[in-house]
Amino acid sequence: MTPSPRLILDVAREAGIDPATLETHGPHVAKLPLPEQDYPGEPAPLIAVTAITPTPLGEGKTTTAIGLAQGLTRIGRRPILTLRQPSLGPTFGIKGGASGAGRSQVVPTELLNLHLTGDFHAVTSAHNLLAAMVDNHLHHGNLLGLDERTITWPRVLDVNDRALRHIVIGLGGKVDGVTRQASFDITAASEVMTVLALARDLPDLRARLGRIVVGYTFEGAAVTAEDLDAAGAMAVLLRDALRPNLMQTTEGVPCLIHTGPFGNIATGNSSVVADRMAAGLGDMIITESGFGADLGAERLVNLKSRSGLAPTLAVMVVTVRALKAHSGRYRVVAGRPLPPELLEENVEDVATGLANLDAHLRMVAHWGLPAVVAINAFPGDHASEHALISQHCLELGVPCAVSTHVADGGAGAEELARLVSERLEKNPKTEIRRDYELDAPLEQKILSVARGVYGARGIDVAPAAARELRRFTDLGYGRLPVVVAKTHLSITHEKGLDPASEWRLPIREVRLAAGAGYVYALAGAMSTMPGLPTHPNAENIDLDGEEIVGLF
């Protein structure tokens, strides 16, 4: 049985946070004040929890990060967790809640998964305020000369709703606005969310919001939120949302929950502000990056670390079921039971899937990061399968531990915690090697990620995408970092495509996120507004008296 959470004021006090500076939201959640200055002296090392290519079910990076923090606490360390806030879309869709699992969760779980302190609603409101001011500007004469055919700013909603992917607005009479095609994204895909995640403080937040580009004039000049006089009001809506939320794990380890950018098209990491605050509180920071190392960890290295802390060590999460899935013999579908044969003992299929683990370990080594492998153990695993993974890691010279943190909490992660602590003592500082310098051309940056991280032989840029890259460069955005938006179900851009084959990365479209500070290239089919399955998790959620049931 999960113990009741401690009072958040007690958690704060033990973490070295003055309780008088907190804004409490009930007994178990509090907003932290923004730091007036950076941490004194050397910051605590940042441990990046990443993973191999996941199945559609996910492989437990969040729960492993939580279990690791609890294990480290048990061996005498003082870790601080920095994690993203779950989106309501997946919570009510296929995935369900994202607070961890079993005895390695952030608690209270229902608060984390449902609204928390309203940060997502603040992002939604700020984003849609800008969208409303764009259309209001068109309605009232369009003094800036904004070409409505070039408007790139959608609206957002934190619900999976495929019917809103492509819409027409302004229907009705003249007073109802200008009729045009538009769209909705999910809130986690909003550029405002990424701005919030990357901003270092309130002035930086305000400046980034002003740089957001919503479209272009008939002469080709960028039109920004500052041009529309919208950035100031957006900053007001986001002022409190820039403050991280303090929560705790099932064993009372402090956790800073903040922001939730998508792992496919955005940074897929928690905020720079949360890391900055954690850097002066504990003796190490444990954070988690979205999807596999090819996505979240790559953005941490090449994008987020340019504004905040760089990682010192990578923890690579691996599961038996994912390795078996990468053998190509099984089909894992979110929302459906695992194939029964996948649960049978089969070291041969695990061995075949180890190529995926090797590829992700090569990525983190390519960035100069030492690694520890964490086998996230499931009840249906077999000892022979764990032994094979451990032996493989031993041959590679990478420390590996079987972790039973879901069933046993911190006690089940003590071996992993010792390996991480020992690895840090051997590598107290790490000079990461990014994939490109900012003064490289945009296309060259995309190529560097494609080759260095994914192992592609090259890139094929569609003519329209090439024109946009030239336009972004001409407008002064050529020194921005890049993000490649692609599937999370493969190291390549296409699920089922062998990463070891002679493949090339197709770039069909590029977009500008000037406020967040990057250009992102779309490879393959990507959707920024997910849909609901036939039977979404929302069907299972209800109230039993005052108790929430069916959330997980």
pLDDT profile of the chain (552 residues), mean per 10: 84 94 96 82 92 92 97 98 91 77 94 94 98 98 97 96 95 94 95 98 97 97 98 98 98 97 91 94 95 97 95 97 93 83 95 97 98 96 98 98 97 98 91 97 98 97 97 98 95 92 95 97 83 82 85 72
Q: How far apart are CA 137 and CA 134, in angstroms?
A: 5
Contacts 24+ apart (CB under 8 A), 419-423: 419/372, 420/47, 420/68, 420/72, 420/313, 420/315, 420/372, 421/72, 421/75, 421/77, 423/313, 423/370, 423/372, 423/399
* Range 23-59 burial, b when 16+ CB lie within 10 A, else e: eebeebbbbbebbeeebeeebbbbbbbbbbbbbbbbb
Listed in order, the ranges of the chain carrying CATH 3.10.410.10 are 442-522
Distances in Å between the Cα of 418 and the Cα atoms of 76, 285, 388 are 10, 15, 21
pLDDT for position 535: 81
Q: How far apart are CA 271 and CA 285, in angstroms?
A: 13
- Note the pTM of the prediction, 2 decimals: 0.95
Q: How far apart are CA 62 and CA 178, in angstroms?
A: 44
Q: How far apart are CA 23 and CA 25, in angstroms?
A: 7
Q: How far apart are CA 288 and CA 275, in angstroms?
A: 12
HSE (CB half, 13 Å, CA atoms) of 114? 13
Task: Write out the H or E segment, with its range, that includes residue 484.
Answer: strand 482-485
The position carrying tokens 């191999």 is 52
| CATH superfamily, domain at 442-522 | Formyltetrahydrofolate synthetase, domain 3 (3.10.410.10)
- Sort 368 into a burial class: Cβ within 10 Å, 0-12 / 13-18 / 19+: middle
pLDDT for position 14: 94
| Angle made by CA atoms 54, 259, 60, in degrees to the nearest 5 | 25
The letter for the amino acid at 493 is: H
List Cβ neighbours of 15 (8 Å cut-off, separation of 6 or more): 80, 254, 281, 282
CATH of region 19-427:
3.40.50.300
Q: Is 277 helix (H, G, I), strand (E, B) or coil?
A: helix
* Range 155-191 burial, b when 16+ CB lie within 10 A, else e: bbbbbbeeebeeeebbeeeeeebeeeebbbbbbbbbb
Q: What are phi and psi of 3, to 5 degrees?
A: -70, 155
pLDDT for position 264: 84
- Give the tokens for residue 200: 């270092």
Q: How far apart are CA 128 and CA 121, in angstroms?
A: 10
**Ramachandran category for residue 170: left, alpha or beta (phi over 0 → left; psi -120 to 50 → alpha):** left
> How many C-beta atoms surround the C-beta of residue 331 within 10 A?
12
Contact 483, 518 (CB under 8 A): yes
DSSP string covering 344-402: S--HHHHHHHHHHHHHHHHHHHHTT--EEEEEE--TT--HHHHHHHHHHHHHHT--EEE
Q: What are phi and psi of 204, to 5 degrees?
A: -65, -40
Task: Give 3-state DSSP helix, strand, coil % of the chain, rounded to 5.
Answer: 40, 20, 45
Listed in order, the ranges of the chain carrying CATH 3.40.50.300 are 19-427
3-class SS string, 395-443: HHCCCEEEECHHHHHHHHHHHHHHHHHHHHHHCCCCCCCCCCCCCCCHH
Radius of gyration of the CA atoms of the chain, in A:
23
Q: Is 62 helix (H, G, I), strand (E, B) or coil?
A: helix
- Give the tokens for residue 489: 């179900």
Contact 426, 294 (CB under 8 A): no
Contact 43, 281 (CB under 8 A): no
- Give the tokens for residue 57: 């079910």
| DSSP symbol at 297 | I
Contact 182, 256 (CB under 8 A): no
Q: Is 482 helix (H, G, I), strand (E, B) or coil?
A: strand
